[in-house]
Amino acid sequence: MAGKDNAPSERTTVRRMAVRGEYEKSTVAEILDEGLIAHVGLSTSSGPIVVPMLYGREGDILYLHGSPASRILREGGNAELCVTVTLLDGIVVARSLMHHSMNYRSVVVIGEAHSVDDLDERARSLDVISEHVIPGRVAGTRPHHEREVKSTLVLSMSINEASAKIRTGPPIDDEEDYELDTWAGVLPLSVSAGTPIADPRLAEGIGIPEHISQWSR
Amino acid sequence: MAGKDNAPSERTTVRRMAVRGEYEKSTVAEILDEGLIAHVGLSTSSGPIVVPMLYGREGDILYLHGSPASRILREGGNAELCVTVTLLDGIVVARSLMHHSMNYRSVVVIGEAHSVDDLDERARSLDVISEHVIPGRVAGTRPHHEREVKSTLVLSMSINEASAKIRTGPPIDDEEDYELDTWAGVLPLSVSAGTPIADPRLAEGIGIPEHISQWSR
């Protein structure tokens, strides 16, 4: 997040990069699929707001879901959003504080979001979001009730205007600093799952399913 | 991120909660101190942008740092920003897809950001940000060169207009669903550090310092 080699995505850059090769398209998709939450920005009359939201990807469509009280869900239909997903891969430890950085992969998706009004699509979009967070969970859970689908807000947007930024590798120090007696390198970071905690109200005899015990990112 | 019990922060809510007790103030500080990166939103003439940035807190001041190419760093002085930090604590696994959620702690800080122009304050702010990411690193690294401080952009903003949202605990299912034969509970998540990877150009005989080998969040 520092250094010229890894400039954050800017709206103008994303617009410029809207036409891009299949390679970047697949990179965008991979980063989105590995992330768990997105930070979604909306411009309001009193300034920008950024809220964490759950999401899922189906082809070129991104589905967004959050609290029913969310202003972005309520007002985000037909509004311009910026959806940013960031994966932290490591802390870049340099010989000067100046060249410290993060190794990361991030995607910025911009565009107009639309409310998913068709109930069949909305039910499917909820499955897409669930499968994104916990692959295998939909098959392990009862079907939606119609009233649940009716009362849930989901937004959709195209990922055609998206841009990926990636920083990898060791620190890049000033040449003179390589002689310093200072440790430098990368401290890798990852998201890891702990031991599943059963709901206190879980009935006896229900084992932990594989999609939970084997969950990893 | 779903369910009425954990509505995302909204700009209006944050404004309303600007006057709050010491308890919430310390919660906001704790969450900011545990996070690694912030997602920072800016309204532009072509729509909102959200970019990941490094940050550090000193008292009621939040310092933001990112790429020199960042439009937020260049234009963020005297602009209204929304700074959101989200810690994912677990996946809430419910008996219906509807009630799946995340356990999380998030902070939204809003307000006007200012460029840190005083070079002494800027040098100190860079130390604050470095110590935020790697406690102990400043003492283990050479002092800044003046030219480095001069060429680095840092923004500051007050955290007085901030709001914390927290979801903890097991899923809350519909009463009728508790009889289902479906595992439910929480899958805890955390950020963990792997084995430090030495810079290929690291001189022989330089050991890994404790602030790296013992790093944890």
DSSP labels, chain B: --SGGGPPP-HHHHHHTTS--HHHHHHHHHHHHH-SEEEEEEEETTEEEEEEEEEEEETTEEEEE--TT-HHHHH-BTSEEEEEEEEEEEEEE-SSGGG-EEEEEEEEEEEEBEE---HHHHHHHHHHHHHHHSTTTGGGSPPPPHHHHHT---EEEESSSEEEEEE-SS----GGGGGSS---EEEEEEEEE---EE-TTPPTT-PPPHHHHT---
Confirm whether A55 is domain-assigned: yes
Rounded to two decimals, the ipTM of the complex is 0.91
- Over 70: is that where the pLDDT of A116 sits? yes
Give residue A7's pLDDT. 42
Q: Which of B16, B42, B51, B213 to mutate to test the interface with A (most CBs of A within 10 A)?
A: B51
Low-confidence ranges of chain B (pLDDT < 50): 2-9, 19-20
Name the minimum distance, in Å, from the CA of A184 to any CA of chain B: 6
Measured distance CA(B67)–CA(B74) in Å, rounded: 10
Check if A44 contacts B (Cβ < 8 Å).
Answer: yes
Phi and psi of A82, rounded to 5°? -125, 120
Higher-confidence position of A86 and B70: A86
Give residue A70's pLDDT. 72
Confirm whether A209 is domain-assigned: no
Name the minimum distance, in Å, from the CA of A6 to any CA of chain B: 7
Confirm whether B178 is domain-assigned: no
- HSE toward the beta carbon, residue A139, CA cutoff 13 A: 6
Check if B148 contacts A (Cβ < 8 Å).
Answer: yes
Find the residue in A nearest to B67 (Cα).
Answer: A2
What is the extent of the structural domain holding B109? 4-173+183-213
Give residue B22's pLDDT. 63
Confirm whether A142 is domain-assigned: yes
- Over 80: is that where the pLDDT of A71 sits? no
Between strands B37-44 and A37-44, the pairing is unpaired
Find the residue in A nearest to B170 (Cα).
Answer: A199
Distances (CA, A) of A186 to A166, A167, B200: 15, 12, 10
Q: Which residues of A touch B144 (CB under 8 A)?
A: 96-98
Measured distance CA(B188)–CA(B103) in Å, rounded: 8
Confirm whether A46 is domain-assigned: yes
Nearest by CB: B96 against A66, A67, A142: A142
The mean pLDDT value of chain A amounts to: 90
**Other Cβ atoms closer than 10 A to A142:** 13
Contact (CB, 8 A) for B119 and B150: yes
CATH of residue B127: 2.30.110.10
Indicate if the alpha-carbon torsion angle A183, A185, A190, A192 is positive or negative: negative
- Over 90: is that where the pLDDT of A192 sits? yes
DSSP designation for A59: T
Confirm whether A201 is domain-assigned: no
Name all contacts of A176-181 with Cβ < 8 Å and 24+ positions apart.
Answer: A177/A94, A177/A95, A177/A96, A177/A99, A177/B142, A178/A95, A178/B201, A178/B203, A179/B203, A180/A95, A180/B142, A181/B203, A181/B206
- Over 90: is that where the pLDDT of A20 sits? no
Mean pLDDT in residue range A27-34 = 97
DSSP designation for A21: -
Measured distance CA(A164)–CA(A83) in Å, rounded: 12
> Closest Cα to residue A54, out of B118, B8, B43, B40?
B8
Confirm whether A93 is domain-assigned: yes
Question: How many independent structural domains does chain A possess?
Answer: 1
Confirm whether A154 is domain-assigned: yes
Could you tell me which residues come within 8 angstroms of residue B64 by beta carbon, excluding any fewer than 6 positions away? B38, B40, B53, B54, B55, B72, B73, B76, B81, B83, B113, B154, B155, B156, B157
Give residue A69's pLDDT. 63
Place of tokens 């997602």: B39
DSSP character string of A153-200: --EEEESSSEEEEEE-SS----GGGGGSS---EEEEEEEEE---EE-T
User: Is B48–A53 a contact, with Cβ atoms under 8 angstroms apart?
Assistant: no
- Over 50: is that where the pLDDT of A9 sits? no
- Over 70: is that where the pLDDT of A161 sits? yes
Give residue B63's pLDDT. 98
Q: Which residues of A touch B9 (CB under 8 A)?
A: 49, 51
Measured distance CA(A216)–CA(A35) in Å, rounded: 11
Q: How far out from the chain centre does Cα A85 lie? A: 3
